Chains A and B, each alone.
Chain A
Amino acid sequence: MATTAQGLSEEELVRRIQRGDEAAFDSLMELCGPRVYNIAYRMVGNHEDAEDMAQEAFVRMYRAIPKFDWRASFTTWMYRIITNACLDELNRRQRRPALLNDVAANENFDMENMPHSGPQPEEYALTRERQHELQRALNTLPDKHRMLVLLYDIQGLSYQQISSALGMNLGTVKSRLNRARIALRESISQFREQLVENTSLSNQEES
């Protein structure tokens, strides 16, 4: 369980917020912000919209925390709010997340942007190309399917947690996740086939 520098857990922070401790909300943003932001980023594929969505999620949390009744775990509840904020925002804008070109234009996967707390750059197994490819494939998924992959494969939530967060039954979570992964895999194959085609085309032109 992640805690703040003062050793405070999410739950403790939420209790403090509920008691009217405004500063605790800042601590909560510090503690949970990266998770929220990364989900938003993977949902939209660019930093500007991700920040927008993640901030909206915290606005919603701020409003909803006074009503949070501890029947669900805070983490699950938080994921639900994040999810809804992202999906609502995507719905509202009625547009697909940034596609390849936007991702490339907004590319910020530079090594200097890597979090200090995370693994060191040389430990990254993934090349930038592979990261692009994954993000681009993610962007082709329907919003809700993309969210499932984010929560399970990237955020590491359990089926049960996702079920609670998304309000889906367990079977639906599993079957949709399965479909989403297969679709992701197919997208990647298509990208690669296109790449091969484009390369051979350009080779033909050159010859």
Chain B
Amino acid sequence: MTAGHIEELYSDYLDGTLAAAESERVEEHLRSCGQCAAELAALRELTADLRELPQLPLPASFNVGVRERLRLTHPIPLFSWRNPTFSGAIAALLLLGVFIALQHQPAPHMAQLSPVAKGSAISPQAGNNSGINSILNMPDMHPDELPPIATSKANIMRILRTNYHYKGDGSVISANIYAGLPPAMPGTDIAALNNEPPPKYTVATSMATLLSDNSNVSLSHPMPADSNMIVSKGSGGWGGGPALLAEYDGVGIPAPTGGDPILGTPIYASPAGNQPGAYGATISSPYSAGTQRLTNGILIAKIQADPAPGNNIMLQFKGVSAGTFDASIIDAAGKARDVNAQKIKLSGAPTQNIILNVAEEDEASTIRFAINSGLKTNNFYLFVPGKNSMNAASTGHAANAKEANMANTLAQLAQDSGMYVLCPADFVEDDSKDTIVPVADINAVKSFATQRRYRIDKTAQFYNVSSIGE
């Protein structure tokens, strides 16, 4: 103890948190080391003086100021097309935004699901616009009314993509639903799930390892093939920042060795090895570093349970033209607010970093990024919860066979994936020979959405089904 100095023990000694024996050794050292003794004396004086710093009174206008801020910053309803904040990119993007509570849904009984028929044609239906009008006239739901988003670890998100193909006259002629990503559950046979082989998405060992630790995969997105947006991730976080995109339960999660060929190496943002309560955030992204492309879509990220101070989320965009997108945080109670008071602007630079501020009270919140990268067409999104969605979707809606079928299909997919299902549909011309799934009657989608109290964006355009077949 007499050799060298005892710098690392200064605070412990001053604060009296050393064991008696250790404290004695420090004192012994101090008797022979003038430098440490002087340093400690200076520190003792410093800490004593810090305690003596005067406490300042609260400014007189303080409470009034807080009240004023609360009034001005009332949470902004999400998806409200009447709200100018959500015009523009998000309006072009969102036709349907749906949240259903998982845990809070009553589950009277497990309704029988009709099997998802695959490969059959869509029934023709003469279309009219009454359905859409009635949906558009739905009152806006205040975020307070939105049911809470399930935050259970079991709710690893996955995304299923629905394509509706239509002819030039606007008639939907076929549709397919396929699992987009990620391979959320080890052993999931995605091809069998949706009858469309998405060979890229297979369950990888590393992902299985991750999931076996009950970690929460919390970043999902649709991954269409024709995209021009890249979200990349670097060391230390998604995009390189101290991002916190995953719920973290304080349990250290071993890093998969070698990385996942599809998912990349999960990022461990904790500088100290996922210490409980520290920066521990396991970030698993379905993106390989810098290579996966994303076109229109919604990114959903869940903020870890206990964000450490000063954490932000950094997104890095490469090769994206100038534009804007919206980001919102939906807290555990289903309330939404803008992440950054304004639209996030992309300058068009080759690499663009966007910082999203995440606050402590956002813990367990979900972030939605609505990204518009030059959409040619409309899209809609359905969020359907897994598990209980069978009940939610098929109870009480059997009157409309098509709707029930739609609900059942979604529910089945949700059930099979065990999680949310996100179905963004591009109304794009597509000559691919995707398997037809008989759920593409858009009116069924609308009815389904209406009955589930989903909101539909004002700019939604639905196509009437007036013919079928090639």
List chain A positions with a Cβ less than 8 A from chain B: 26, 29-30, 33-34, 37-38, 41-42, 47, 51, 54-56, 58-60, 62-64, 66-67, 80-81, 83-85, 87-88, 90-92, 108-109, 113-116, 118, 124-126, 130-131, 134-135, 143-144, 147, 149, 153-154, 156, 159, 163-164, 166-169, 172, 174-175, 177-178, 181-182, 184-185, 188-189
Q: How far is the CA of A41 from the CA of B312 in the complex (A)?
A: 23
How many residue pairs bridge A and B at CB < 8 Å?
Answer: 167
B307–A33 CB distance below 8 A: no
Q: How far is the CA of A41 from the CA of B59 in the complex (A)?
A: 11
Q: How far is the CA of A55 from the CA of B277 in the complex (A)?
A: 26
**Is residue B109 contacting chain A, with contact meaning CB distance below 8 A?**
no
Q: How far is the CA of A83 from the CA of B360 in the complex (A)?
A: 9
Q: How far is the CA of A131 from the CA of B53 in the complex (A)?
A: 7
**Is residue B399 contacting chain A, with contact meaning CB distance below 8 A?**
no
B307 contacts which chain A residues (CB < 8 A)?
Answer: 84
A185–B69 CB distance below 8 A: no
Q: Of the candidates A38, A118, A166, A172, which one forms a contact with B309 in the assembled complex, judged by CB atoms under 8 Å apart? A: A166
Q: Given the interface contacts A177-B11, A182-B10, does A115 sit within 8 Å of B359 by beta carbon?
A: no
A13 to nearest B CB, angstroms? 14
B56–A62 CB distance below 8 A: no
B10 to nearest A CB, angstroms? 6
6 residue pairs bridging A and B, Cβ less than 8 Å apart: A51-B59, A55-B66, A59-B73, A81-B361, A84-B309, A134-B53
Interface string of B49-68 (1 = CB under 8 A from A): 11111111111001101100
Q: Given the interface contacts A59-B69, A153-B47, does A66 sit within 8 Å of B55 by beta carbon?
A: no
**Is residue B332 contacting chain A, with contact meaning CB distance below 8 A?**
yes
Nearest neighbor of A58 in chain B, beta-carbon distance: B66
Stretch at the interface among B38-46, B93-101, B185-193, B419-427: B38-46
Considering the complex, which residues of chain B in the window 307-360 have a beta carbon less than 8 Å from any beta carbon of chain A? 307-310, 312, 331-333, 357, 359-360
Q: Given the interface contacts A62-B70, A67-B333, A147-B309, does A124 sit within 8 Å of B361 by beta carbon?
A: no
**Is residue B12 contacting chain A, with contact meaning CB distance below 8 A?**
yes
A85–B10 CB distance below 8 A: no
A113–B57 CB distance below 8 A: yes
Q: How far is the CA of A81 from the CA of B361 in the complex (A)?
A: 7
List chain B positions with a Cβ less than 8 A from chain A: 7-8, 10-12, 14-15, 17, 39, 42-43, 46-47, 49-59, 62-63, 65-66, 69-70, 73, 75, 272, 275-279, 306-310, 312, 331-333, 357, 359-361
A38 contacts which chain B residues (CB < 8 A)?
Answer: 55-56
B54–A124 CB distance below 8 A: yes
B69–A26 CB distance below 8 A: no
A188–B310 CB distance below 8 A: no
Supply 18 further A-B pairs (C-beta < 8 A) apart from A55-B62, A135-B53, A174-B11. A60-B359, A67-B333, A87-B309, A87-B310, A88-B359, A91-B312, A108-B56, A109-B54, A114-B54, A125-B52, A169-B272, A169-B276, A169-B278, A174-B17, A178-B11, A181-B46, A182-B7, A185-B43
Q: Of the candidates B63, B70, B73, B332, which one forms a contact with A33 in the assembled complex, judged by CB atoms under 8 Å apart? A: B63
B331 contacts which chain A residues (CB < 8 A)?
Answer: 67
A84–B56 CB distance below 8 A: no
A91–B357 CB distance below 8 A: yes
B70–A59 CB distance below 8 A: yes
B14 contacts which chain A residues (CB < 8 A)?
Answer: 181
Nearest neighbor of B69 in chain A, beta-carbon distance: A59
B278 contacts which chain A residues (CB < 8 A)?
Answer: 167-169, 172
B58–A33 CB distance below 8 A: yes
Nearest neighbor of A33 in chain B, beta-carbon distance: B58
B39 contacts which chain A residues (CB < 8 A)?
Answer: 182, 185
Q: How far is the CA of A109 from the CA of B10 in the complex (A)?
A: 30
A167–B308 CB distance below 8 A: yes
Q: Given the interface contacts A62-B70, A169-B277, A181-B47, does A92 sit within 8 Å of B54 by beta carbon?
A: no
What are the 6 closest A-B residue pairs judged by CB atoms, nearest first? A84-B360, A64-B361, A178-B11, A87-B310, A153-B50, A87-B309
A14 to nearest B CB, angstroms? 14
Q: How far is the CA of A51 from the CA of B63 in the complex (A)?
A: 10
Q: Given the interface contacts A63-B361, A88-B357, A166-B309, does A126 sit within 8 Å of B49 by beta carbon?
A: yes
B357–A92 CB distance below 8 A: yes
Q: How far is the CA of A144 from the CA of B309 in the complex (A)?
A: 8
A38 to nearest B CB, angstroms? 5
Q: Of the candidates B8, B17, B308, B359, which one forms a contact with A175 in the assembled complex, judged by CB atoms under 8 Å apart? A: B8
B52 contacts which chain A residues (CB < 8 A)?
Answer: 124-126
Nearest neighbor of A57 in chain B, beta-carbon distance: B66
A34 to nearest B CB, angstroms? 5
Q: How far is the CA of A177 from the CA of B277 in the complex (A)?
A: 18
